[in-house]
Structure formats: structure tokens, C-alpha cells
Amino acid sequence: MKALKIGLIVFMLVLCGSWVLAQEKITITVQDYFDPAGGMAKFIDEMAVEFEKSHPTVKVNHVYIPFAQLLPTILQQSLTKTVPELTMADNPWVPQLIKAGTYKDITEKVEEWGWENWEDFFRGHREVTSSEGRIYAFQITTNNLALFYRKGLLEKAGISQPPATWQELKEQCKKIKEALGIYGFAFCATASEEGTWQFEPFLWSNGGSLLELDQPEAIEALQFLTDLVKNDYTPRDVVTVSGQGDVTQWFINAEVAMMVNGNWEFGWHLTEDVMQELGDVEVATLPVPQEGMKPVVPFGGECFGISSNIDPAKYDLAWEFLKALASPESMLQANIKHGGLPTRASVAEKILAERPILKPFLEQAQYALPRPLVGGIDKYPDVSSTVWVAVQKALTEMLTPEEALKEAAKAIRELFSPEEYEMYRKMARELLNEAMGK
């Protein structure tokens, strides 16, 4: 009898243990393109550990997919209904993914959370993650482009202040080349969204539009960059770099004195130890065509949403993780580690106390533009690929800037019906004029 009781107890313990193990198999997968060695990836890993502690039956699986592969992967997953529970997207992709039905409508969850949380996100980040009054994602971090410069190198060339205008940039590049024998300026013109993204500040600050590339303002902007390359003020290799990080390596190695790049570099290549070692890295807003104008830059950054094919049993758990990631406390800490900018008004000023070097980026963020809204909404990825091809053709002298952009303008018009094109063209022009203060 005693043996029977002992056997029964052992059986019950095994049964309970099996139940716990079964519960532990609930997996929430977070998919993104953040470099596993970078600050944001490490923060998400830390969040996953804390979430698992407070949810003992949950396992958070963090999956990394390289930038160039992530969008095709998500679109394929959408077709097979295998999109992970929480999926990150670069913000220009979000309208396309909403239209494709990739993201779940979370409007009711946001309402339960409190509309004050949604309204705390800056307008542009609300617009890019919603459609027709419904909410599909949160933008967790943002960034834009500014002018990084090595103050010590500029001083050696007899330059006391970074350039404020395009003409000053040209003049300073000439001085740097003559005095130091290095390139004055670099940007990224690779064959990807990074190439379009780095062209956009020059295009927009001059009053040009992605949907009117055959106009003088657009041609002037590309001509300016082409001349920098032709004059040997900028490396010709800007078209063959693998990405914006390669430009930062030139900058760190003192091969270039100034570069266009984003604030994420403070969480990637220009980490605290590197900044201390260099000792002369500073940041300014981007040069503008003429004195008195302001730089109009695109805003970047990443958005997280819940998969529309999520198992209903996992929905509440995925929402809890997403809500925690979008909280003011998490957003502040994540962006400090990432070198990013918060997307919530209640957090934006707090980060300057921790990272004062981000001030130029925060200044520009006030009038930074969401790329899809000025580039054809869900057609923006196609518009962008047309633009970077044109930029590369001009910089490599396959075509003149005018020829390259007129060719691109024709191809972009063909992406839309005449009615769509006119609607999106007007939308872009209105947003550009507003950003320029017209």
C-alpha cells in the first residue's frame, strides 16, 4: 500500500512537471535586423530576460535577420502566414506591410492602454504606423542625418566652424584637400535605401521632391553631390560601400574630415570608448543651399507590430511585450544604448541629459519627414529603388544628373495611375512646403 502511495506521488509529480514544461513551451518570437552586438539588440535581449522572469511560462525568442533580407523575408512569411509574433520593420516599409495585411490592428488594445499614450508619439510616427484611423504598430526609435566632423582636422586646415551652406562646404573641402591631402566630405550612395535616404536631405532642403525629379531643384541637388565627387572632395567609392557604417570607418581613420551619417552611430561605431580615443568628433545640422534655410531631413527608425497571423492564445502576451517596449522608461533606456532618438514627446528632452551630442538631431527632428508620405505611400520602396539607381548613374558619370533624374522621373510616374500620381505629388509638395516653412 505504501509503495502504491509513493508511486502515486511520483506519478503526480511527473504529471505536474510535464504540465510546467508544456507551459514553458509558449514562445513569443521577436524578429528584427538589429546587429546582435549593437545597443538595441542587447536591450531587447535584456527585456526578454525580464519578461520571462515575470511570465515563467513564456520563452522570448529573439531572431536577427540582416537588413537587406528582412523585408523580402517578411513578405514571404506573409504569404505563408508564418510571420513571427512581433516583427520589426524599417518605417518606410510599414504602409506596404499594413496594406499587405501583415500587421494586426491593435487599435482596441491602444484604447485600453490609454489614448494619451498614443498621442504622446510625435505626429509623423503616428501617421506612418496607422492607416484610415486604425493603429498597426509603434515606432520605438527614430533617427535622422546630420554632419559629423573632426574638429581637429578642420582646425589643421584653418577652419574654425563647420560649414552651414553648400558653398561653405565646397570651400572647406578645397582647403582640407590642399592642407591635409584627404577627402573633405563623404556620404553613402550605395545601391539600397541607404543611398536614397542620404540623397533626400539635399533634395528636400533645396525644395526638390521625389515625385518631381525632373524639376530644377532636384537636378541642382544631385549636381551638387556629383561635383563634390568629380572634384575629388568626396571618395568615388561612395557608390560601392556596403552601407553607411563603411563611411564611418573612413571618418574614424581620418580619411575624411566630415560625413553625413545618423545618430545610431553612437551606439554602433562611435561608441564611448572610440569617441574618447578620437577626442574631436562633433556634430552639426546639415549644410543648406543658402543661408537662412533649414535642413529638411528624412526620419528613420524602426517600428514593431504584432503579426496578423498570431495564435490568439499568444496575442495578449505579445501585446504586453510590445507595450513594455513602447513605454517611456524602456524607450529612454533603449535609445540611450542604441544612440537613437525617442519617438514620444515625454521622452525626447530627457535623452539630452544623457546624450547632449544628440541635440542637432533633435533640432532637425522637429521638421523631419516620413519618407512614405512624400514618396507614394506603399509605393515608396519602388520609388526609392528608382532614385538610388539614378544617383549612382550620375555619380559614376554614366549619365548627367539631369539625364539620370529625368529618366527616373518617367519611371516613377509609371508606378501610378495618373490620378494616383497627381494625388501623391500634391501630398508630397504640401508636406515639403510645410517642412520648409513656406
User: Per-residue confidence of the chain (438 residues) as pLDDT tens digits?
Assistant: 544 444 444 444 444 444 444 455 799 999 999 999 888 999 999 999 999 999 999 999 999 999 889 999 999 999 999 999 999 999 999 999 999 999 999 999 999 999 999 999 998 899 999 999 999 999 999 999 999 999 999 999 999 999 999 999 999 999 999 999 999 999 999 999 999 999 999 999 999 999 999 999 999 999 999 999 999 999 999 999 999 999 999 999 999 999 999 999 998 899 999 999 999 999 999 999 999 999 999 999 999 999 999 999 999 999 999 999 999 999 999 999 998 999 999 998 899 998 999 999 988 987 899 999 999 999 999 999 999 999 999 999 999 999 999 999 999 999 999 999 999 999 999 999 999 998
Distance CA 117, CA 134 (A): 15
- Asked if the structure places residue 183 within a domain, the reply is yes
Query: Same domain, yes or no, for 272 and 343?
Result: no
- Asked if the structure places residue 154 within a domain, the reply is yes
- Asked if the structure places residue 6 within a domain, the reply is no
Residue where one domain finishes, among candidates 365, 400, 420: 365
Q: Given CA atoms 63, 301, 416, 214 in this order, what sign does their dihedral have?
A: negative
- Asked if the structure places residue 17 within a domain, the reply is no
Tell me the residue type at 391. V
Query: Same domain, yes or no, for 228 and 170?
Result: yes
Residue where one domain finishes, among candidates 325, 350, 365: 365
Query: Same domain, yes or no, for 127 and 243?
Result: no
Query: Same domain, yes or no, for 227 and 149?
Result: yes
Burial class (CB in 10 A: 0-12, 13-18, 19+), 248: buried
262 Rama sector, left if φ>0, alpha if ψ -120 to 50, beta otherwise? beta
Q: How many CB atoms lie within 10 A of CB 190?
A: 21
Query: Same domain, yes or no, for 163 and 212?
Result: yes
Distance CA 226, CA 166 (A): 13
Query: Same domain, yes or no, for 286 and 319?
Result: no
Residue where one domain finishes, among candidates 311, 332, 365: 365
Query: Same domain, yes or no, for 279 and 353?
Result: no
Query: Same domain, yes or no, for 255 and 270?
Result: yes
Query: Number of structural domains, the chain?
Result: 2
- Domain range holding 128? 25-142+299-365
Query: Same domain, yes or no, for 166 and 112?
Result: no
Query: Same domain, yes or no, for 151 and 256?
Result: yes
- Asked if the structure places residue 278 within a domain, the reply is yes
- Asked if the structure places residue 13 within a domain, the reply is no
Query: Same domain, yes or no, for 357 and 384?
Result: no
Tell me, what CATH number does 318's domain have?
3.40.190.10
- Asked if the structure places residue 19 within a domain, the reply is no
What cell numbers appear for 428 in the block? 508630397
Query: Same domain, yes or no, for 126 and 184?
Result: no
